[in-house]
């Protein structure tokens, strides 16, 4: 069951078999449980991956991945499955993976929205934004409803010849439709472009695009800056109202060892970070520095730029999206969080230096021609369907064709999928190896005479991030200090010192800057280290244990036997 391939979109049953098969083959590394149920009652799988021989998952710093909250972005699930596979098969041979599973833990929800995906992969397919729950109105409103009308399993575009159309055929490639020029007045050969579908309550004249009956967007249903429908479309009736989101939020909150969070989506070939609504100076300075350093590493490994949504990925310059999972994870929990938008046909076609969202409003026609060439040469023409006639039951003779958006834009084409997702599994491991990690540097006993001993424990954070992970976590009171607790056997007694001592937060290697500077922040002293001391009365040969724990930096223990 390790011969999985990452070149296709997994239906739910196959995905379920794949992760359970991996768990059966690697029981010491991978456990799969149900985290909750979807709207239609499907299990939402949660994979926990760590080397159990070196400690339980909840005593190790964790990285959390959620995939496929959006119904058609199914490449995200393939990527999540790739990550799980990369971890369990790389253990013991890949040094980074081995280290990550020995010292840390991964939680992966490979498909948060199984219902929406089943609709997208059905025959005929139905493409939703997210949940299959009908919302906000129970009835179908009039207008064009997108669907596969000729039964070929695809939902494409209809072009309708119309003297008042806004599109015309490009002279260099008859498949390409481009906007009519602003001074191109009067009749001619023009077209109207409509989604493939039929018109509900057609009056013979008007063809509005009907609002989708299932218009929830689960990634607007999270608590951070949640807004009602009138302000944020698809947000649902209240934060975490939807079972998928409630499951996700409860899963994350119940695992306070999570230090990092990646949401897998498609598409654009970019890694996004908060905020959507605020510029970068909204961050505590330390957090912005960490985000930039982590993002730089992400780019080195994956080739994707790591950008702020506010600065580089706004759908509309005047509005910002609220209620998204990554913003909730960072802003409420103080966890470094990202949204990976896998795959970009634009990049694949060799177009560089484009703005992710703006490109769709405005770009040179050479880009379109280039994309068609890429389709012909790299995809053997599979991504773009040349226009073919169809007798539409309501509109009469139309043509159907254009980009197969679902298979070529929203998702990576099969031949390119594995190579696209693979580097991101490495990036998840690298991110995880940057998390804080508690270690005992020394645990010693000095004799004071008369059966008295002074015990000294020195602990340190050996990770890159501080134990609190972010400054935001401290601001939100989302983390507690490092604790050291002593356990004495019968016959031994504590003379001085609290049995449980709080040792504050410990800095990580991130404290080092590019160059040792003479001004503020140049030297790092020993902020990564702390000590605890006790005086005990105990007989020679007594064994004493201390437990050091931090919700994010893990739990470690040390034992000594008095001489």
Residues in touch with Zn ion (CB under 5 A) = 70, 73, 265
Please report which helix (H) or strand (E) contains residue 90, including its range. Answer: helix 75-90
Kindly give, in sequence order, each residue whose CB lies less than 8 Å from that of residue 419, ignoring residues fewer than 6 positions away. Answer: none
Q: How far is the CB of 166 from Zn ion (least distance, A)?
A: 29
Rounded to 5°, the CA angle 301-262-528 comes to: 80
Gap between the Cα atoms of 239 and 242, Å rounded: 8
Cα separation, 351 vs 367, in Å, equals 7
Give least dist CB 44 to Zn ion, A. Answer: 17
Cα-to-chain-centroid distance, residue 33: 20
Q: Of 337 and 556, which has the nearer Cβ to Zn ion? A: 337
Helix (H) or strand (E) holding 116, with range, is helix 114-120
Cβ proximity to Zn ion, 73 vs 242, nearer residue? 73
The CB-of-15 to Zn ion minimum distance in angstroms stands at 18
16/410 with CB nearer Zn ion: 410
CB of 73 to Zn ion, least distance (A): 5
Separation of alpha carbons 241 and 333, rounded Å: 20
Rounded Cα gap, residues 294 and 273, in angstroms: 11
DSSP, res 406: I
Task: Give min distance, CB of 72 to Zn ion, in A.
Answer: 9
Report, in Å, the least distance between residue 5 CB and Zn ion. 23
Q: Smaller CB distance to Zn ion: residue 116 or 466? A: 116
Partners of residue 134 on adjacent β-strands: none
Three-state SS at 57 = helix
Closest to Zn ion by CB, 73 vs 146, is: 73
Least distance CB 340 / Zn ion (angstroms) = 10
- Which of 73/420 has CB closer to Zn ion? 73
Nearer to Zn ion, 315 or 388 (CB): 315
Q: Shortest approach of Zn ion to residue 70 CB, angstroms? A: 4
Instruction: Tell me the C-alpha distance between 267 and 313, whole Å.
Output: 12
Smaller CB distance to Zn ion: residue 42 or 220? Answer: 220
- Decide whether 240 or 325 has the Cβ nearer to Zn ion: 325
72 vs 375 by CB, closer to Zn ion: 72
The answer to whether residues 230 and 236 touch, using CB atoms and an 8 Å cutoff, is no
Strands across the sheet with 529-537, in order? 438-449, 452-461, 529-537, 493-496
* Numbers of helices and strands, H then E, in the chain: 13, 24
Q: Tell me the three state secondary structure of residue 423.
A: helix
Dihedral angle, C-alpha 224, 228, 231, 236, nearest 10 °? 90
Contact 384, 298 (CB under 8 A): no
Say how far apart CA 351 and CA 332 lie, in whole Å. 38
Give least dist CB 341 to Zn ion, A: 7
CA–CA separation, 175 vs 383, rounded Å?
12
- Residue closest to Zn ion when measured from CB atoms: 265
Least gap, CB of 46 to Zn ion (angstroms): 20
**Cα–chain center distance at 210:** 31
């Amino acid at each position: 069951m390790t011969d999985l391939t990452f070149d296709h979109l997994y239906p739910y049953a196959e995905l379920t078999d794949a992760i359970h098969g991996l768990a059966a083959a690697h029981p010491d590394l991978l456990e799969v449980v149900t985290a909750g149920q979807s709207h239609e009652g499907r299990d939402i799988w949660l994979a926990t991956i760590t080397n159990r021989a070196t400690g339980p998952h909840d005593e190790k710093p964790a990285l959390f991945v959620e995939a496929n909250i959006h119904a058609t972005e199914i490449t995200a699930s393939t990527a999540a499955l790739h990550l799980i596979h990369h971890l369990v098969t790389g253990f013991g041979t890949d040094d980074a993976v081995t280290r990550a599973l020995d010292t840390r833990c991964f939680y992966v929800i490979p498909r948060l929205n199984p219902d929406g995906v089943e609709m997208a992969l059905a025959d005929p397919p139905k493409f939703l934004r997210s949940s299959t729950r009908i919302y906000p109105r129970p009835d179908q409103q009039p207008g064009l409803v997108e669907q596969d009308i000729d039964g070929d399993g695809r939902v494409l575009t209809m072009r309708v010849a119309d003297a008042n159309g806004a599109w015309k055929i490009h002279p260099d490639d008859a498949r390409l439709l481009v906007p009519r020029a602003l001074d191109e007045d009067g009749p001619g050969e023009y077209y109207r472009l409509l989604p493939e579908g039929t018109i509900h309550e057609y009056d013979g004249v008007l063809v509005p695009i009907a609002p989708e009956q299932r218009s929830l967007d689960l990634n607007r249903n999270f608590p951070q800056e949640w807004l009602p429908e009138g302000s944020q479309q698809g947000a649902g009736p209240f934060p975490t109202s939807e079972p998928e989101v409630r499951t996700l939020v409860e899963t994350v909150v119940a695992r306070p060892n999570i230090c990092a969070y990646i949401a897998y989506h498609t598409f654009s070939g970019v890694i996004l970070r908060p905020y959507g609504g605020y510029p970068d100076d909204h961050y505590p300075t330390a957090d912005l520095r960490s985000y930039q350093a982590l993002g730089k590493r992400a780019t080195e490994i994956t080739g994707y730029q790591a950008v702020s949504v506010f600065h580089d990925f706004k759908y509309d310059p005047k509005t910002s999206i609220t209620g998204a999972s990554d913003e909730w994870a960072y802003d409420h929990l103080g966890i470094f969080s990202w949204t990976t938008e896998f795959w970009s046909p634009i990049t694949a076609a060799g177009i560089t230096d484009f703005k992710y969202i703006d490109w769709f409003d405005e770009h040179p026609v050479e880009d379109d021609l280039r994309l068609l060439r890429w389709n012909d040469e790299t995809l053997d023409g599979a991504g773009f369907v040349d226009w073919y006639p169809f007798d539409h039951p309501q509109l009469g003779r139309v043509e159907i064709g254009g980009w197969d958006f679902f298979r070529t834009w929203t998702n990576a084409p099969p031949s390119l999928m594995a190579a696209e997702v693979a580097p991101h599994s490495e990036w998840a491991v690298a991110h995880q190896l940057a998390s804080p990690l508690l270690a005992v540097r020394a645990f010693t006993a000095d004799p004071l005479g008369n059966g008295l001993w002074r015990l000294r424990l020195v602990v340190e954070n050996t990770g890159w991030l501080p134990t609190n992970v972010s400054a935001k976590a401290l601001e939100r009171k989302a983390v507690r200090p490092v604790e050291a607790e002593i356990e004495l056997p019968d016959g031994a007694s504590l003379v001085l010192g609290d049995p449980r001592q709080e040792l504050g937060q410990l800095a990580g290697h991130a404290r080092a800057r590019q160059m040792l500077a003479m001004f503020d922040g140049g030297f790092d002293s020993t902020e990564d280290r702390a000590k605890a001391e006790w005086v005990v009365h105990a007989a020679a040969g007594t064994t004493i244990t201390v437990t050091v724990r931090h919700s994010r930096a893990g739990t470690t223990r040390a034992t000594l036997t008095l001489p």
